[in-house]
């Protein structure tokens, strides 16, 4: 009888243990993996939220990742004993009609971030009202059609704590005015709007004019930068990208916050917005540090002057249909980092960079570059990093010989580089000088003519070259 009782006890124990796997001393749900306070159940074909009744979530875990599963509903018990701080529920089949009003009760006093993107939600779930600590919500890429789907009482309930909000879909035809309840909002990300929503009213950002610091609006058919942005007095970053209907005339000076005596806007990106030139507003952005105009066909940039005192130190002009380094860049006196990748720039001529004395980093990768003048880097004392990956260069640029102090890193990988005595003796001499003077220069790349890296070739083969021996007075060229 005793043995039979022990057998039953062990059998029950095994059944319990089969539902829980121990990882690093903390229990983990079946068909999930757990590490570093993170419960990863993504892409495991779950149809329900795992049972956390046997876990001490509050002690052991912060994050629950349920992305890319087969969830279709959430009931009042879905998050029982599951006080996670971050919950990812994106890329499921959740319908707001199948999310019960008490579905988030177990998260009410804990969760700060909730991702509901890429589901089948048509109206904000009433359950959101339970989230007393919520700070960041993502409901983007759901089939939400109307502003009324952002129900006023739900938005008001979250308004006291929410600081970051992401929404948008190609079905949304009206702007949700209930955003004005987010009086603490610091970050707003709008990803897609309906095709017929082309203009935002001046009151679009009402309610958080003094709190918003980061704004990203992308993938829309808006025809102009919203004029309401001009009221965002503490805005530091503006990303208005992939809005191809905007064009030059849609970047209005009056749409930017300019009147403040203490300007805040530091970062601006206007990528793939149908622009053909530098927007005139840039010269009025007195705090501007970083500017990106990627993906615009800047037909009128090469010859047009960038008038005014543009303060940007970082400039990205990737994939801008440029066939040469624009002379207009000479007006950017504070420029330190320049990215001209994915353009049809074939040469860097002697004077192309001479008026950029503060240039620190130059990137021209995945481009048509095939020639660099031997004097292209003269009088650029701060130029430390160069990236010429995947271009059409066939030699390590001899212009490096004119850099003083020495550049720290030069990346020419992905090119068909000739490695021969007559083409690389100078580089051995230069790298030796750099090393001896405490400013070592690293050249990253491989030879096309021999199986070797550039550094290995100049260290191993160049000392054997007659040209190098003669230059350094080595036998059999010892002239002493």
More confident residue, 15 or 450: 450
> In this model, does residue 95 exceed pLDDT 90?
yes
Q: For residue 15, what pLDDT band results from cuts at 50, 70 and 90?
A: very low
Q: What is the pLDDT of residue 58?
A: 84
Q: Using only C-alpha atoms, what is the Rg of the chain? A: 30
> In this model, does residue 99 exceed pLDDT 50?
yes
pLDDT digits (tens, 9 = 90+) for 325-382: 998 888 888 999 999 999 999 999 999 999 999 999 999 999 999 999 999 999 999 9
More confident residue, 229 or 309: 229
Residue 394, judged by CB atoms within 10 A of its CB (0-12, 13-18, 19+), counts as: middle
Read off the tokens for 159.
């308004």
CA distance 70 to 366: 40
Q: What is the pLDDT of residue 466?
A: 78
Q: How far, in Å, are 138, 144, 323 from residue 89 at the CA level?
A: 10, 17, 46
The total number of residues written for the chain in this structure = 480
Read off the tokens for 414.
């992905």
Q: Given its phi and psi angles, is residue 137 left (phi above 0), alpha (psi -120 to 50 degrees) or beta? A: beta
Bridge partners (DSSP) of residue 26 are 23
Among 24-38, 354-368, 383-397, 421-435, the least confident range:
24-38
Q: For residue 17, what pLDDT band results from cuts at 50, 70 and 90?
A: very low
> In this model, does residue 322 exceed pLDDT 50?
yes
The DSSP code sequence of 98-120 is GB-TTTTGGGTTT--EEE--SS-
Longest dimension (CA), the chain: 104
Q: What is the pLDDT of residue 21?
A: 40
φ, ψ (nearest 5 deg) of residue 292: -125, 130
> What average pLDDT does this structure show over 416-445?
92
Expressed in angstroms, the distance from the first to the final Cα of the chain is: 104
Handedness of CA 49, 50, 52, 56 (dihedral sign): negative
C-beta of residue 61 within 8 angstroms of C-beta of residue 34: yes
- What pTM does this model have? 0.89
Those residues with Cβ within 8 angstroms of residue 75's Cβ, 6 or more apart along the chain or in another chain: 100, 102, 103
Asked if omega into 476 is within 30° of 0 (cis), the reply is yes
> What average pLDDT does this structure show over 14-28?
49
Q: What is the pLDDT of residue 55?
A: 84
Q: What is the pLDDT of residue 283?
A: 87
Read off the tokens for 113.
């971030």
Among 124-133, 142-151, 257-266, 308-317, the least confident range:
257-266
In the numeric block, the tokens 């306070």 are attached to: 37
Show the 3-state SS of 185-229.
CCEEEEECCCCCCCCCCCCCCCCCCCCCCEEEEECCCCCCCCHHH
pLDDT digits (tens, 9 = 90+) for 274-309: 999 989 998 899 999 999 999 999 976 655 556 666
Dihedral angle over CA of 78, 83, 85, 89, nearest 10: -10
> What average pLDDT does this structure show over 117-133?
97
Handedness of CA 55, 60, 61, 66 (dihedral sign): negative
Q: For residue 209, what pLDDT band results from cuts at 50, 70 and 90?
A: very high
> What average pLDDT does this structure show over 5-9?
43
3-state secondary structure of 93: coil
Q: Given its phi and psi angles, is residue 35 left (phi above 0), alpha (psi -120 to 50 degrees) or beta? A: beta
Bridge partners (DSSP) of residue 106 are none
Q: Given its phi and psi angles, is residue 36 left (phi above 0), alpha (psi -120 to 50 degrees) or beta? A: left
Exposure b/e, 438-448, CB count within 10 A at least 16 = b: eeebebbbbbe
> What average pLDDT does this structure show over 408-421?
94
Percent of the chain with pLDDT over 90: 78
> In this model, does residue 261 exceed pLDDT 90?
no
């Amino acid at each position: 009888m005793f043995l039979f009782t022990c057998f039953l006890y062990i059998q029950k124990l095994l059944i319990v243990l089969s539902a829980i796997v121990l990882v690093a001393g903390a229990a983990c749900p079946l068909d999930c993996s757990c590490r570093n306070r993170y419960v990863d159940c993504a892409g495991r074909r779950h149809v329900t939220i795992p049972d956390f009744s046997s876990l001490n979530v509050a002690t052991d875990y912060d994050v629950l990742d349920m992305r890319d599963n087969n969830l279709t509903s959430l009931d009042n018990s879905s998050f029982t004993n599951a006080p996670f701080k971050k919950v990812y529920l994106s890329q499921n089949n959740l319908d707001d009609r199948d999310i019960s009003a008490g579905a988030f009760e177990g998260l009410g006093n804990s969760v700060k971030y909730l991702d509901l993107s890429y589901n089948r939600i048509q109206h904000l779930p009433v359950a959101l009202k339970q989230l007393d600590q919520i700070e960041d919500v993502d409901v983007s890429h759901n089939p939400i059609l109307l502003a009324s789907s952002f129900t006023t009482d739900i938005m008001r309930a979250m308004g006291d704590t929410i600081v970051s909000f992401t929404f948008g879909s190609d079905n949304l035809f009206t702007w949700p005015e209930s955003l004005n309840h987010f009086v603490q909002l610091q970050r707003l990300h709008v990803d897609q709007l309906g095709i017929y929503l082309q203009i935002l009213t001046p009151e679009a950002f009402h309610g958080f004019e003094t709190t918003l610091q980061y704004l990203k609006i992308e993938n829309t058919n808006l025809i102009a930068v919203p004029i309401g942005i001009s009221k965002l007095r503490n805005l530091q970053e503006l990303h208005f990208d992939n809005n191809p209907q905007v064009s030059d005339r849609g970047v209005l000076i009056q749409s930017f916050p300019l009147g403040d005596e203490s300007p805040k806007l530091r970062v601006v990106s206007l990528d793939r917005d149908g622009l053909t030139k530098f927007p005139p507003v840039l010269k009025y952005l007195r705090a501007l540090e970083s500017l990106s105009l990627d993906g615009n066909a800047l037909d009128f940039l090469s010859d047009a002057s960038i008038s005014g005192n543009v303060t940007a130190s970082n400039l990205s002009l990737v994939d801008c249909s440029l066939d040469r380094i624009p002379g207009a860049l000479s007006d950017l006196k504070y420029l330190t980092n320049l990215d001209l990748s994915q353009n049809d720039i074939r040469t860097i001529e002697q004077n192309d960079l001479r008026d950029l004395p503060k240039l620190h980093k130059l990137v021209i990768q995945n481009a048509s570059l095939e020639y660099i003048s031997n004097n292209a880097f003269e009088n650029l004392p701060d130029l430390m990093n160069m990236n010429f990956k995947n271009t059409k260069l066939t030699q390590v640029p001899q212009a490096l010989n004119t850099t003083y102090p020495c550049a720290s890193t030069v990346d020419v990988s992905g090119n068909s580089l000739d490695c021969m005595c007559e083409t690389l003796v100078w580089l051995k001499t230069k790298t030796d000088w750099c090393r001896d003077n405490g400013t070592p220069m690293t050249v990253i790349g491989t030879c096309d003519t021999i199986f070797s890296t550039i550094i290995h070739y100049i260290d191993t083969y160049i000392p054997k070259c007659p040209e190098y021996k003669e230059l350094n007075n080595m036998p059999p060229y010892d002239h002493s």
